[in-house]
């Protein structure tokens, strides 16, 4: 398999690795450049940075590494300090490196945590210019010893001063034996968009966007991890659930292993019902960072099911449609939702994580309100008595354990009014969100051939 790294396997990244090789070779010859890896959480940005540093070591480069930290953004030049720390510990080496113009970097590297309150704003006008100049010279001095790979991960959380210096450096790289490689996660409401787009601009054609893994790669990874005999249907279920996101796929595989789930066809539905801890944690933290509206919107989408409209989410969440639209865009940027017009989660596992986080009592209330809302919508769309009769039936079913009948009328009402694609994709979940207690009479009786598992909309 291509690109093995330690015990991890790097699949379908040939194009990115070839470009990394090319830019390293050019840098070794004194033609430095900047690369930027962008993408959603878990797509494999850090893994590419690690692969680059291995490839750089093989070519005699020295790697300077740093990583933005969510809670360290207020420490001015924190990233710069991380990059150079190892070289500045020894007094003799420090004195040698800080000779000449590089000495101007001193205040950034040695001043005690000269932080700003909120990560915004030390003026990067004149006062910072000498420091940027000094740091640039520090890089140049270091590069005299060996070509450099400067790898900065999670730039979205970099302190503003360092981020601006990275842009400054990126603009002055062309005659240095240096590759500046940065990674930025999409949709994090931290670093100013101006800095990110400046870095993107400086990277030009070297701005990388790793793609989700294909089904073929998913099959390879599942079989590599769980055994060559892993069934095709099981692998296909893993691909549907993880949507090609390597992090989600690896978490899912780990969860399957923990649950002693044999990779056979019969386990496919159980796989989709797994709710890997690691994914839930990462997803919920990312949503929480986007604010209370984002959490409310995501929860409502988890209740209503994919393909729901902004208006419906607004009505159920109590937010204004405009607020939902803005919030949904943020969720799309953060890789939580796939589309902001009809609201779909980017992966079923994300939906599962959000759904699982809603407290059972709140979930029941939300399902009940969702049922009333959908019924009201359908009744007014169909303009028939049937709709409202069905509505009261559904409300009654909220109180009964295990409503024995599937809501046939509900299906027929919705199928007449909703777009065909939407209904055919989400009918089982939608029906369950309307009648959370309903279960098919026997496994396989539901239209998607699954008996009620712990999936969103089915677990009340
Ligand atoms: N191309 C790939 N093939 C196989 N596994 C991969 C691939 N890319 C990444 N992985 C694995 O997926 C997981 C997530 O990768 P990584 O940490 O690089 O993602 P990331 O984009 O940096 O995420 P974050 O935004 O959270 O920092 C890791 O376990 C990594 O080994
Ligand atoms: Mg990362």
Q: Which residue has the higher pLDDT, 7 or 107?
A: 107
Which tokens go with 184? 């930025």
Strands 308-309 and 148-153, sheet pairing: unpaired
Atom of ligand 1 nearest to the CA of 246: 12
Q: What CATH number matches the domain at 279-357, 1.10.3470, 1.10.10, 3.30.70, 1.10.287?
A: 1.10.10
What is the distance in A from the centroid of ligand 2 to the CA of 90?
A: 30
CA angle 55, 59, 64 (to 5 degrees): 70
Tokens 């803005």 found at: 326
At 405, give phi and psi (nearest 5°). Answer: -105, 135
Structural contact between residues 309 and 317, judged by C-beta atoms closer than 8 angstroms: no
What are residue 34's DSSP bridge partners?
180
How high is the pLDDT of residue 6?
41
Q: Is 246 in the pocket of ligand 1 (CB under 6 A)?
A: yes
Q: How would residue 147 be classed by pLDDT, with cut points 50, 70 and 90?
A: very high
Q: How would residue 428 be classed by pLDDT, with cut points 50, 70 and 90?
A: very low
Could you tell me the residue ranges of all domains in the chain? 15-208, 215-274, 279-357, 360-448
pLDDT exceeds cutoff 90 at 70: no
Q: Is 254 in the pocket of ligand 1 (CB under 6 A)?
A: no
Specify the range with the lowest mean pLDDT, choosing from 6-20, 24-38, 47-61, 441-455: 441-455
How high is the pLDDT of residue 127?
60
Torsion of CA 67, 246, 303, 266, to 10 degrees: -150
Q: How would residue 111 be classed by pLDDT, with cut points 50, 70 and 90?
A: low
How high is the pLDDT of residue 374?
81
Q: Which residue has the higher pLDDT, 355 or 107?
A: 355
Residue among 42, 285, 287, 335 to mutate when testing ligand 1 (max atoms within 8 A of CB): 42
Specify the range with the lowest mean pLDDT, choosing from 5-19, 129-143, 357-371: 5-19
| Angle (deg, nearest 10), helices 348-357 and 232-242 | 60
How far is residue 223's CA from residue 238's CA, in Å, rounded to a whole number?
A: 11
What is the distance in A from the centroid of ligand 2 to the CA of 245?
A: 13
Q: Is 225 in the pocket of ligand 1 (CB under 6 A)?
A: no
Structural contact between residues 435 and 442, judged by C-beta atoms closer than 8 angstroms: no
pTM, two decimals, is 0.73
Mean pLDDT to the nearest integer, 149-164: 94
Residue among 45, 48, 246 to mutate when testing ligand 1 (max atoms within 8 A of CB): 246
What is the distance in A from the centroid of ligand 1 to the CA of 356?
A: 24
pLDDT exceeds cutoff 80 at 43: yes
Q: How would residue 405 be classed by pLDDT, with cut points 50, 70 and 90?
A: very low
How high is the pLDDT of residue 84?
94
CA angle 334, 286, 353 (to 5 degrees): 100
Q: How would residue 446 be classed by pLDDT, with cut points 50, 70 and 90?
A: very low
pLDDT exceeds cutoff 70 at 406: no
Q: Is 9 in the pocket of ligand 1 (CB under 6 A)?
A: yes
What is the distance in A from the centroid of ligand 2 to the CA of 167?
A: 20
CB neighbour list of residue 56: distance below 8 Å, 6 or more residues apart: 24, 63, 147, 149, 179
Q: Which residue has the higher pLDDT, 175 or 52?
A: 52
According to CATH, the superfamily of the domain at 15-208 is P-loop containing nucleotide triphosphate hydrolases (3.40.50.300)
Mean pLDDT to the nearest integer, 200-212: 92
User: Nearest CA to 255 among 223, 228, 279?
Assistant: 279
Q: Is 252 in the pocket of ligand 1 (CB under 6 A)?
A: no
Residue nearest to atom 23 of ligand 1 (CA): 42
Task: For 227-279, write each residue's pLDDT tens digit.
Answer: 999 999 999 999 999 999 999 999 899 889 888 999 999 999 888 778 788 88
User: What's the mean pLDDT when you consider all of the chain?
Assistant: 79
How far is residue 303's CA from residue 311's CA, in Å, rounded to a whole number?
A: 15
User: Nearest CA to 151 among 24, 278, 238, 261?
Assistant: 24
Q: Is 437 in the pocket of ligand 1 (CB under 6 A)?
A: no
Strands 148-153 and 178-185, sheet pairing: parallel
Specify the range with the lowest mean pLDDT, choosing from 88-92, 224-228, 247-251, 363-367: 88-92
Task: For 277-336, write each residue's pLDDT tens digit.
Answer: 888 888 899 899 999 999 999 999 999 987 788 999 999 999 999 999 999 999 998 889
Q: Which ligand is nearest to the CA of 40?
A: 1
What are residue 65's DSSP bridge partners?
151
How far is residue 108's CA from residue 105's CA, in Å, rounded to a whole number?
A: 6
How high is the pLDDT of residue 174?
87
Q: In what order do the strands lie in the sheet with 308-309?
A: 308-309, 342-345, 337-339
Task: For 161-198, write each residue's pLDDT tens digit.
Answer: 999 999 999 999 888 999 999 999 988 876 677 888 89
Which tokens go with 67? 């990583």
Structural contact between residues 407 and 440, judged by C-beta atoms closer than 8 angstroms: no
CB count, 10 Å around CB of 220?
A: 17
């Amino acid at each position: 398999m291509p690109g093995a790294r330690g015990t991890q396997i790097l699949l379908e990244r040939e194009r990115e690795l070839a470009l990394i090789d090319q830019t390293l070779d050019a840098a070794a010859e004194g033609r430095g450049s900047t690369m930027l890896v962008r993408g959603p959480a878990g797509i494999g940005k850090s893994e590419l940075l690690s692969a680059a540093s291995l490839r750089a070591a093989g070519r005699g480069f020295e790697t300077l590494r740093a990583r933005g930290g969510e809670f360290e953004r207020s420490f001015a030049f924190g990233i710069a300090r991380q990059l150079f720390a190892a070289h500045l510990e020894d007094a003799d080496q420090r004195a040698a490196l800080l000779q000449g113009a590089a000495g101007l970097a001193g205040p950034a590297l040695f001043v005690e945590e000269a932080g700003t309150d909120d990560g915004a704003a030390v003026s990067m006008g004149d006062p910072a210019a000498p420091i940027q100049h000094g740091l640039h010279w520090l890089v140049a001095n270091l590069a005299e010893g060996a070509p450099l790979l400067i790898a900065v991960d999670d730039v979205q959380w970099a302190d503003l001063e360092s981020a601006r210096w990275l842009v400054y450096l990126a603009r002055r790289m062309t005659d240095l034996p240096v590759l500046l490689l940065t990674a930025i996660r999409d949709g994090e409401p931290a670093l100013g968009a101006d800095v990110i787009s400046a870095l993107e601009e400086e990277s030009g054609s070297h701005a990388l966007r790793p793609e989700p893994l294909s089904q073929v790669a998913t099959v390879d990874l599942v079989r590599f991890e769980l055994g060559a005999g892993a069934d095709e249907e099981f692998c296909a279920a893993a691909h549907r659930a993880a949507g090609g996101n390597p992090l989600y796929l690896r978490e899912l595989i780990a969860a399957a292993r923990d649950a002693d789930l044999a990779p056979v066809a019969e386990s496919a539905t159980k796989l989709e019902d797994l709710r890997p801890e690691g994914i839930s944690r990462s997803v919920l933290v990312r949503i929480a960072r986007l604010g209370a509206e984002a959490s409310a919107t995501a929860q409502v989408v988890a209740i209503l099911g994919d393909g729901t409209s902004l208006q419906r989410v607004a009505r159920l969440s109590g937010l204004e449609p405009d607020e939902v639209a803005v919030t949904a865009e943020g969720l799309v940027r953060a890789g939580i939702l796939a589309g902001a017009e009809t609201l779909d989660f980017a992966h079923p596992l994300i939906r599962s994580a959000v759904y699982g986080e809603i407290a059972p009592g709140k979930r029941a209330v939300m399902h009940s309100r969702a049922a009333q809302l959908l019924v009201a919508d359908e009744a007014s769309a169909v303009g028939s008595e049937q709709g409202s009769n069905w509505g009261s039936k559904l409300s009654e079913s909220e109180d009964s354990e295990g409503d024995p009948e599937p809501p046939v009328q509900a299906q027929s009402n919705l199928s007449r009014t909703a777009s065909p694609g939407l209904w055919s994709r989400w009918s089982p979940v939608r029906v369950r969100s309307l009648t959370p207690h309903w279960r098919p009479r026997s496994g396989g009786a539901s239209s998607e051939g699954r008996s009620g598992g712990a999936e969103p909309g089915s677990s009340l």
